[in-house]
Amino acid sequence: MAYMTLNNQKRIAKILICCVILIVILFGRLVYIQVIKAKHYEEKAYEQQTRERAVAAKRGTIYDATGEKILAQSISVNVVTVAPNTIDKDKKESIAENIANILEIDKDEVLKKLTKNTSSETIASKVDQEKSEKLLKYLSDENISGVRVDEDTTRVYPYQELLAQVLGFVGTDNVGLEGVEAYYNDELSGIPGKIVGSTDGKGRETPFTNEQYIDSIDGKDIVLTIDATIQSIVEKYLNKAMKENIVQYGTAVVMNPNTGEVLAMATSPTYNPNDPFTPYSDELKAKWDTLTAEEKKNELGEMWRNRVIADTQEPGSTFKIVTATAGLEENVVEMDKAGDFSCTGAMKVGSWTIKCWRSPNSHGSESLRQGIMNSCNPVFMQLSQRIGIETYCKYLSAFNLDSKTGIDLPGEATGIMHDPKSMTAVDLATTSFGQTIQISTLQTAVNYCAVANGGYLVQPYVVKEIKSKNGGYNQKIESKIVKQIMSKNTASQILSALEDTAKSGTAKNGAVRGYRVGGKTATGEQGRGNNKVYMAGYASVAPIESPQLVVVMNLYDPKGPSGHGGANICAPVVSSILSETLTYLDIKPDYTLEDTDIKETVVPDLTNLTVKEAKEILVEKGFSIAFDNALNDTDIIKSQIPKSGASLMSGSSVRVYVNDNEKQTVQVPDVRNKKESSAITNLRAAGLNVRVEGTGYVIMQDPSPGDVIQKGSIVTIKCTDETDLP
């Protein structure tokens, strides 16, 4: 019998110990995998054996204030995905080529995705129905599995550029990136669903798999306070002012002063949210290819910028109502105390000599009302000295000018005021008339809302209702009064002074036919010396008896032939906005044509009359008949320009047609800066009718110079006998 040697025994012992250690390690690893990391590997197995495809939630619809006009909505499209491991290697190139041809995309990009070692790749999103159907037919005909076409959504903005900076837009993942889309993203986005199916180890679908469909939950709908019709009126006139005055950018806002509802908010230049990453202006398009990636990003950011709330500027004289409020509330001034202030054309404060806009001429002795009507800087400098720095700064804070308004939009800027601790006498003087401080266009509008509503600071807002599609959820946003910042008596006095300013003061170019309105001009200065840039502005309240609208417009860096004063380039534009908006809202006029000095007669209906009958009626009313082709007295009139119901001044003509296809067009001549009589002659010579507002020289015409319109149409010219107003 053989006995093991000691060395053999030791060798066997070592082997046994190693086996035990190995068993312990394996057992430990098994415990680690099966117990400690069980959940992790369960999830890994699930991921390997299942394939999930997202089902996009339908983003909520955005409506205008009427609840009828759709400003943003999601429509059904499709997303094409592929499981690369399921496609035969020798067929990938031909499949990629066919898919690329059908979807009109790059073949190399498709092939790259088909050859990836992943369980799923997105080939294309936002695919329309026609292309989807062609792709499905190809996949079916060739018996190709692994390529899926699933439902998706895309965001569309039916009104194109309208309200772009307020609405914002969404990214490729349907997440809001700007404006209302970003601020209310959680409410609008909804909850995505998914489709879950089983696969084998290579990611191929297993036979007889029953897919599980988990439905998405649609986002909530939003109703804005903004009325699409009022918005279109504002944008039409803002764009007109931009073009005619060669402006860098412009802003305008319309508010209901009693509730804080924003009825319109516009920035120009604008962009199309359906294609937000494409440069929109001709200037930007021309230089786009020369820009770096960072420069392009910055330019797009500027294009998307809602300057009504995101930009602050020195407001100029529209700010004077803040100083007037402080003075009246502190009882250091009366509205109509004769000779209370004196303007010599300039005023020395410390080492500074600060001029009135009328310098070297002066306004002489004035009351506060006259100071507002004349927009006289020395009046407000003197008034601020009576108030004092400490007290004046309390009113700036009361107006919330050193903070945000709290509007429900992203990107709002904070007003910039002087630090009360370091504010000097010169700072006080310049602030009193709206210089050396900065606020946004929206903040100016909120200030005027307080005057219009009896003294209350309201919080502006753009969304008035959030609701689900099935009616199960409905949240109505209530208007919010932040605080009372002036007495009703003070508000009433300032409102009265603003009406006088629009009647016969510096804001008379902002008067509105048939309505009592208030207004205040501004010509702000941004920067100093060679870097000085002007900003023309105008703020208006209408109607005075029961204010329903506050409108503020600012035009930055105007370089057109009409100068840079708010009285000449903003006031008449705001007047046009108010005129159309008041009519649209069916707010009754305060005056009729007969109550004013406007000598106009309503155009009669001439259709279905003979030419002879029409001539007799027109002559009786002080008009003449016009036509482009020779007509007989017995011919029957089928149409006319202007239509019946319009009003024309005596001596105007009504153009008649026996066939609609006879109508002719004409290019509107430029009559700006011409004397009223010369402008009328030029327009009538072009076959156009004229409506005249004011007297003197033409500061605005509508339609714009160069526009092509039908002969006989009315061109409104707004005139002033003072061309150097602030």
pLDDT number for residue 208: 46
Q: What is the pLDDT of residue 666?
A: 94
pLDDT for 65-87, tens place per residue? Answer: 999 999 999 987 888 888 888 88
Contact 657, 640 (CB under 8 A): yes
Residue 252 sits at φ, ψ, to 5 deg, of: -155, 145
Range of lowest pLDDT (83-92, 169-178, 231-240, 257-266): 83-92
pLDDT value of residue 542? 97
pLDDT at position 199 is 56
Q: Average of pLDDT values for 542-550?
A: 97
- C-alpha 387/C-alpha 332 separation (Å) is 7
Read off the pTM.
Answer: 0.83
Fold for 52-223, please state it. Answer: Penicillin-binding protein 2a (Domain 2) (3.90.1310)
Mean pLDDT, rounded, for 341-352: 94
* Residues carrying CATH 3.30.10.20, the chain: 596-720
Report the CATH number of the 316-591 domain: 3.40.710.10
Amino acid in the structure at residue 567: A
Average pLDDT value for residue range 164-182? 94
* Ramachandran angles phi, psi of 120, nearest 5°: -155, 140
Preceding peptide of 703 cis, ω within 30°? yes
User: Mean pLDDT lowest for which of 110-114, 193-197, 198-202, 575-579?
Assistant: 198-202
CATH 3.40.710.10-classified regions of the chain:
316-591
Q: Which of 646, 658, 549, 651 is nearest to 604 (CA)?
A: 646
What CATH class does 596-720 carry? alpha beta
3-state secondary structure of 77: strand
Residue 446 parent element (H or E): helix 441-452
Instruction: Identify the helix (H) or strand (E) that includes residue 613.
Output: helix 611-620
Would you place residue 212 in the very low, low, confident or very high pLDDT band (cuts 50, 70, 90)? Answer: low
Please check the confidence at residue 49 and state whether its pLDDT lies above 60. no
pLDDT: which is higher, 213 or 379: 379
- Token code pair at residue 388: 């004092």
How far apart, in whole angstroms, are the C-alpha atoms of residue 199 and residue 197?
7
User: Which DSSP helix (H) or strand (E) runs through 294?
Assistant: helix 293-304
- The torsion angle over the Cα atoms of residues 617, 618, 622 and 628, rounded to 10 degrees, is -170
Q: How far apart are CA 290 and CA 496, in angstroms?
A: 55
pLDDT category of residue 173 using cuts at 50, 70 and 90: confident
Q: How confident is the model at residue 45 (pLDDT cuts 50, 70, 90)?
A: low
Cβ atoms of 206 and 200 within 8 Å: the answer is yes
Asked which of 160-174, 523-537, 629-643, 694-708 is least confident by mean pLDDT, the reply is 523-537
Q: What is the pLDDT of residues 122-131, one digit of tens each?
A: 888 888 888 8
Q: What is the pLDDT of residues 373-426, one digit of tens each?
A: 999 999 999 999 999 999 999 999 999 999 999 999 999 999 999 999 999 999
Give the pLDDT score at 505.
94
- CA separation for the pair 213, 439 (Å, rounded): 53
529 has pLDDT over 90: no
Q: Which residues of the chain does CATH 3.90.1310.10 include?
A: 52-223
Choice between 42 and 123, residue whose per-residue pLDDT is larger: 123
Residues in the chain: 726
Q: Is the pLDDT score of 472 beyond 70?
A: yes
Q: State which amino acid sits at residue 453.
A: N
Mean confidence (pLDDT) of the chain: 89
pLDDT tens per residue, range 437-456: 999 999 999 999 999 999 99
pLDDT at 277 over 60: yes
Q: Which of 112-116, 254-258, 663-667 has the highest mean pLDDT?
A: 254-258
Handedness of CA 562, 553, 688, 601 (dihedral sign): negative
Q: pLDDT class for 194, splitting at 50, 70, 90?
A: low
449 Cα distance to chain centroid: 20
Name 224's Cβ contacts closer than 8 Å, sequence gap at least 6.
62, 63, 64, 65, 71, 180, 462, 463, 464
Angle at alpha carbon of residue 318, lines to 315 and 321, rounded to 5°: 125
Cβ neighbours of residue 199 closer than 8 Å, sequence gap 6 or more:
48, 49, 50, 51, 83, 119, 205, 206
Confidence of residue 1 (pLDDT cuts 50, 70, 90): very low
Question: Dihedrals φ, ψ of 358, to 5°?
Answer: -90, -5
Low-confidence winner among 34-43, 58-67, 361-370, 550-559 (lowest mean pLDDT) = 34-43
Residue 41 has pLDDT above 80, yes or no: no
> How far is residue 524's CA from residue 61's CA, in Å, rounded to a whole number?
40
